Structure 1
Amino acid sequence: MTNTPGEGDMSEMDGTTAAIVRSGVVAVLRAASADGFAAVADVLVGNGITAIEVTLTSRGAIDALAGLRRQLPPSAVIGAGTVLTPDQAKASVDAGAAFLVSPVVDPAMRQDFGVPFYPGGLSPSEIHQAAQTGAGLVKLFPASAVRPSYLKDLHGPLPGIRIMPTGGIGLDDITAWLTNGASAVGMGGPLLGDAFTGGDLGQLAVRARRAAEAVAVARFAE
């Protein structure tokens, strides 16, 4: 097994970060309303995607997050995404969030919320600033703006930073991102498809299994 980045040495990670890296994919639940999150999360976890991010831009997200903590097995790790203020962070943790994710680096968020906090960035300077907070993972957003090889370029001058690309990553892209050094990837639409608008949950299960299989392929190649 390689040193960080990538899957890396699990003994160097906190338990939540290690669980996310083991999953390889974080399902980013974002919709106008969080009403459908329970059913979707159940399918995802049952088919190998055990890291779930509930985005706070979804109406009812905090209540949904609390519900998922009660509903899903202990092996699932549930967090909050698009966390932009300390008040949002506190509300999410109070609801049971095991981790917090933000698309930006904000000095106001440089405090201990009691759970891992993963800030985001895109440029080398932003990625470096995010890592300087001590984050176990840095969210690279939007991943659609760059190619998987960008991670190798970043890891040359910035070795050891665990990066989680998110935004516009398709099912066929997972292996490339992981083999280029991503510790995990965040996935929304390409994984969830039409699941929140009456789509077939059976097809969601198929996509989840494809994603989990892509992670397994990438990990075997390391």
Structure 2
Amino acid sequence: MAAVKRQCREGKEFEVEYRMLKKDGNFLWVYDRGRIIDIQGEKKAVINLIVDISENVRIKNHLFMESVTDPLTGLYNRRGGEVMVAQRFGNGNPYIFLMMDIDNFKAVNDIYGHHEGDEVLRYIADLLRQFFRRDDVVIRIGGDEFVVFIYPCSSVAAIEQKIQKISERYLRKIEQEYPLSRSSLSFGGVKYNRTTSFLELYKRADQVLYKVKHNCKGQFKIVEMKTE
């Protein structure tokens, strides 16, 4: 209605798209084009044409989801992750930007084959979905690198407990199915309470992760950043 009123103030025609509730409880996406006409002196009426565009909207949404998700794991890809992280910011609440890297992932591919490597990536994606909240943004950046944006989040200790459980579950799977790879998980993250760019968060978390892997693989660290 706000869009119609705004357009009608500028002229006598309007074009809007919206959802319409049907009698069976389902929704219909429609394109509505209308025009205000004068009748009987000062009285006005609206003549409009409403077209069902539900299929067009479904296809558009499907194409959008394909462009922002990783086809192997179903997680957000980097493009989709950046969009979702930007949408989550607000109200100055603290949050954690967590990066994860699979140690010795190349050994999994080399020893057991790329098909098994793909299975490991899907297993990691399922673990991250299981242990983090539905509203947290889980991203496969590429290769064996993942990101979890946890917003809001004020407890580093709670996230460290999740990381520990994820790592233990992963190590059990590796010991049972891919023992020769000696693969593990390394995590590095930052805790912030101000809005900043995805690239800035990525750089800061990547620095923490690099130090973790340099010192000892299979460990984790979250650094609380001071507000400037």
Q: TM-score range by the shorter chain?
A: under 0.3
Higher radius of gyration, 1 or 2: 2
**TM-score if structure 2 supplies the norm length?**
0.22
More strand as a share of residues = 2
**TM-score if structure 1 supplies the norm length?**
0.23
